[in-house]
A = this chain, B = another copy of it.
């Protein structure tokens, strides 16, 4: 999903300057409040070489009191560090209660390198991810606020930046061998990053992907995310009404010194935290605490080019061809005894039903089943939300299509408040665990988001109102959902980012034109199945 991120988000210089002062001041006060509350914080900056991690960190820390802060630049381990278990050196760098630790690269540096360069076995790689999850959970349970940033630029942008740096003798040294290697293997690294995020994205230590083409944008977005996460934990400190920055500094000096004395005399115990897990503490705070953690500006959906169309003749030709291939692939699914799960999510009236129909039209009716998922009833309602999907899983050799799915938890249930914030926030990890178990069993998992413009949706709603045989499809609820378009868009964006993995990727389908949408869906499906089951010939 990373390739879909809107990397063009910018902020003009004037707006940036205006916001920067405010953000720096707020973080400065937050730093003191954090110290008083004895809450430790860890902010990790990972990202592409050339994405300007260091400059971003520098702007964020510039106005902070250095006594409350440590910046750690993580290089490969020294010889003496290899004498200890691998997380040893990171434990030593955990912040004291009340301090902020900022990591320029982190423990993820190693797992990313291992995965991309295939230095360790898959089992060992997973075991390292487990170590990380345990490490971060232990710190979070102990009260730490943890945010993990991925600074994202495109391959082209990375190339341009390298070229510029290399063209100047005084900056050429900044582009290392390693960086060049990364650039040549951009796609593999991107896959590894998605996998790493899916395995380690937890409510108590979330990943935040920041588009980093614009330096102004990435700084403001990082500030926002940090401030929101800290406010969610300890509340908003009251800003003193000060005339000058100098005065502020003096005040803080006193406060810090008092704190340090307290620490030295050993008089203070860390304050007890509201609840061991993040879910609960977010719940206790403002309702939009989490939402604002993922910067509102980052949208993969706004980038989708909805003008794509297909003429009727090409459509007919391609449809016939793809359906014929699908029929053969359906037979292979049966022969090779592989289960297949296809998920359809998307806006109301985006054409999910019609697309599914085009898929099943020529399939052997014994080879597939379609589950239309509405609100749970009966025993499904009396169980864990994943229960009704576990019981509808296809056996080996069968295809199951889900017209809406478990993703309802982080879409409709989130937006409509049917799930509590702690419930839908932990659902990303639960869904990743669920799909991982399917994939490890050998299931082919394919997921489509059918994307529509609000204008086209309106046109289709009105059409449904006027055409009698389509009228039953349109309910009052559809109109109500439409009013919450931007909330649904935000939920879908976050879902796409947090649950797309190389083994169970999302495909966004441009669905303003039905013909285009159907062909893209069928083509994607044929390609995925061919990749898993082998090519078929007509």
Is residue A131 contacting chain B, with contact meaning CB distance below 8 A? yes
Q: Measured between C-beta atoms, what is the minimum distance from A96 to chain B in Å?
A: 4
Number of copies of chain A assembled together: 2
Contact A85 B134 (CB under 8 A): no
Instruction: Mark out the residues of chain A between 251 and 281 whose CB falls within 8 Å of any chain B CB in the assembled complex.
Output: 263-264, 266, 269-270, 272, 275-277, 279-280
A127 CB–B CB distance under 8 Å: yes
Q: Which residue of B lies closest to A86 (CB)?
A: B441
A38 to B378, CA, bound (A): 14
In angstroms, Cα B275 to Cα A397, docked, is: 41
CB distance from A168 to the nearest CB of B (A): 42
A83 within 8 A of B: yes
Q: Which residues of B contact A97 (CB under 8 A)?
A: 382-383
Is A91 interfacial (CB-CB < 8 Å)?
Answer: yes
Encode contact with B along A370-392: 1 for CB under 8 Å, 0 otherwise. Answer: 00000001110111111100110
**Inter-chain contact B443/A85, CB cutoff 8 Å:** yes
Contact among B269, B430, B443 with A138 in the assembled complex (CB-CB below 8 Å): B430
A286 on interface, CB distance cutoff 8 Å: no
Counting CB contacts under 8 A, is A396 at the interface?
yes
By the criterion CB–CB under 8 Å, are A390 and B88 in contact? yes
1/0 per position for A114-132, CB-CB distance to B under 8 A? Answer: 0000000111001100110
A426 and B141 within 8 A (CB): yes
Nearest chain B residue, comparing its CB with the CB of A141? B426
Task: Give residues 82-128 of A contacting B (CB, 8 Å).
Answer: 83-88, 91-92, 94, 96-98, 121-123, 126-127
A395 within 8 A of B: yes
Residues of B within 8 A of A377 (CB): 266
Chain B residues closer than 8 Å to A463, beta-carbon distance: none
Query: Smallest Cβ distance from A354 to chain B, in angstroms?
Result: 30
Q: Is A142 an interface residue (CB 8 A)?
A: yes
B141 and A266 contacting across the interface, CB-CB below 8 Å? no
Q: Which of A18-26, A432-440, A500-508 has 4 or more CB atoms under 8 Å from chain B?
A: A432-440
- Whether B438 contacts A85 by the Cβ 8 Å rule is yes
Query: For the complex, is A393 an interface residue (Cβ under 8 Å from B)?
Result: yes
Tell me how far the C-beta of A95 lies from the nearest C-beta in chain B, rounded to whole angstroms: 8
Q: How far is the CA of A88 from the CA of B387 in the complex (A)?
A: 9
> Is A391 a contact of B91 with CB atoms below 8 Å?
yes
By a beta-carbon cutoff of 8 Å, the part of chain A in contact with chain B is: 38, 80, 83-88, 91-92, 94, 96-98, 121-123, 126-127, 130-131, 134, 138-139, 141-142, 263-264, 266, 269-270, 272, 275-277, 279-280, 339, 377-379, 381-387, 390-391, 393, 395-397, 420, 422-423, 426, 430, 433, 437-438, 440-441, 443
